[in-house]
Amino acid sequence: MPGAGDPRLGGLDGRHGLAGDYLLHPFRGFITGYDVVGVLESLDADATRQGLAVGQRVAAVVPDMGAHASIVVLPGSLLVAVPDGLDSSLAAALPLDLMTARLALSCLRPDARSVLVQGVTGAVGLLAAQLALPAGLRVAGTASQRTAAIEPLAVHLVDYRDASWRERVREEFGPVDGVIDHTGDRALGRLLSDRGRIVRISYAGRRGHQKGATLRGSIRTLLHHGIPPRERLAATPASIRGDHGRYRAQLGELLERVARGELRPVEPELHPFADFATALRAADRGLSGRKAVLRMP
């Protein structure tokens, strides 16, 4: 089995898992982390078939978590070569977010012409907007402020701190064919066109209550699969588990687009593993345009 060696970097997405408040890992004590970038120390048959080599930089999503470790052992079927010229700390911030943005857009109807992206200046939202625009979709997005990354994009921004922001979307942008949402907001249905869908990528919950919020939200989404407001659940880890080959092809292509400058992600904020507490606070703050990344010992 391949092991990822130095440098070992992992993206960080908050403290729910550490607190035993993550639905798929409901107890404390497991190793957190979905994103990993490292250098190959050994190869299995899958890695060899892909043409990977010892000493090569690779990236991966770890579907069941476990990236925040000194040595990560993964099947070669999950590994993707990091393009030359792509900084390792930036690459470590990307795998799960790239795949989530891609999956969320694929959950829209094929004839969708417009989409509202919640948190469009965040890690997933910014990537979703940049993937949607060249696909011909009109894009609106919620944010508290403009960032340098969002400024050049043709995105209609609405401040979610305005209590009437939903009405503003309908008045200024019109009904949307899709919403990519990470909040679980139940009022989003009134923004949809007749062919509209809400794609849920996560559900917001109060600290200590995230498991319940995710469970209730997921059940509600499944119940609304066929009845208005129609919803879809974009469960990225489950999607990756189901088809490693498709995942590798998509992640490889998306990383290449980042390396070529076609996609501009949020900036990585690098933290040493010994400063894990500070990194967690940075991840919890979720500042627009930034993502916390851990450097493993």
Q: Percent of the chain scored above 90 by pLDDT?
A: 74
Q: Percent of the chain scored above 70 by pLDDT?
A: 92
Considering the domain architecture, whether residues 186 and 266 belong to the same structural domain is answered as no
Instruction: Say yes or no to pLDDT of 288 above 70.
Output: no
Residue 4 lies in a domain: no
Tell me what pLDDT residue 4 has.
47
Domain final residue, candidates 238, 255, 274: 238
Instruction: Say yes or no to pLDDT of 239 above 60.
Output: yes
Higher-confidence position of 4 and 272:
272
Instruction: Say yes or no to pLDDT of 2 above 90.
Output: no
Considering the domain architecture, whether residues 290 and 229 belong to the same structural domain is answered as no
What's the chain's average pLDDT?
Answer: 91
Considering the domain architecture, whether residues 115 and 178 belong to the same structural domain is answered as yes
pLDDT category at 1 given cuts 50, 70, 90 is very low
DSSP category for residue 24: T
Given a contact cutoff of 8 angstroms between Cβ atoms, the answer to whether 30 and 256 are in contact is: no
Residue 253 lies in a domain: yes
Q: What is the pLDDT of residues 119-170, one digit of tens each?
A: 999 999 999 999 999 999 999 999 998 888 999 999 999 999 999 999 999 9
List the CATH number of the domain containing 281.
Answer: 3.90.180.10
Considering the domain architecture, whether residues 204 and 107 belong to the same structural domain is answered as yes
Q: What's the total number of domains in the chain?
A: 2
Considering the domain architecture, whether residues 177 and 78 belong to the same structural domain is answered as no
DSSP string, 106-171: HTS-TT--EEEETTTTSHHHHHHHHHHGGGT-EEEEEESS--TTTTTS-EEEEETTSTTHHHHHHH
Residue 95's SS3 state is: helix
Q: What is the total residue count of the chain?
A: 297
Residue 34 lies in a domain: yes
Q: Mean pLDDT across the stretch 83-88?
A: 96
Residue 60 lies in a domain: yes
Considering the domain architecture, whether residues 85 and 138 belong to the same structural domain is answered as no
Q: What is the pLDDT of residues 6-60, one digit of tens each?
A: 457 888 776 555 555 667 665 677 788 899 999 999 999 999 999 999 999 999 9
Q: What is the pLDDT of residues 198-236, one digit of tens each?
A: 999 999 988 778 889 999 999 999 999 999 999 999 999
Residue 45's SS3 state is: helix
Tell me what pLDDT residue 3 has.
47
Residue 140 lies in a domain: yes
Query: Looking up tokens 């701190």, which residue turns up?
Result: 161
Considering the domain architecture, whether residues 215 and 102 belong to the same structural domain is answered as yes
List the CATH number of the domain containing 148.
Answer: 3.40.50.720
Considering the domain architecture, whether residues 170 and 111 belong to the same structural domain is answered as yes
Residue 5 lies in a domain: no
Considering the domain architecture, whether residues 214 and 251 belong to the same structural domain is answered as no
Considering the domain architecture, whether residues 285 and 178 belong to the same structural domain is answered as no
Query: Looking up tokens 């798929």, which residue turns up?
Result: 24
Residue 1 lies in a domain: no
Domain that holds residue 61: 13-91+242-295
Query: Long-range contacts for 146-149 (Cβ within 8 Å, ≥24 apart)?
Result: 146/121, 147/121, 147/288, 147/289, 148/289, 149/121, 149/264, 149/265, 149/266, 149/289
Considering the domain architecture, whether residues 220 and 249 belong to the same structural domain is answered as no
Residue 74 lies in a domain: yes
Q: Mean pLDDT across the stretch 178-183?
A: 97
Considering the domain architecture, whether residues 174 and 285 belong to the same structural domain is answered as no
Higher-confidence position of 99 and 275:
99
Given a contact cutoff of 8 angstroms between Cβ atoms, the answer to whether 35 and 10 are in contact is: yes
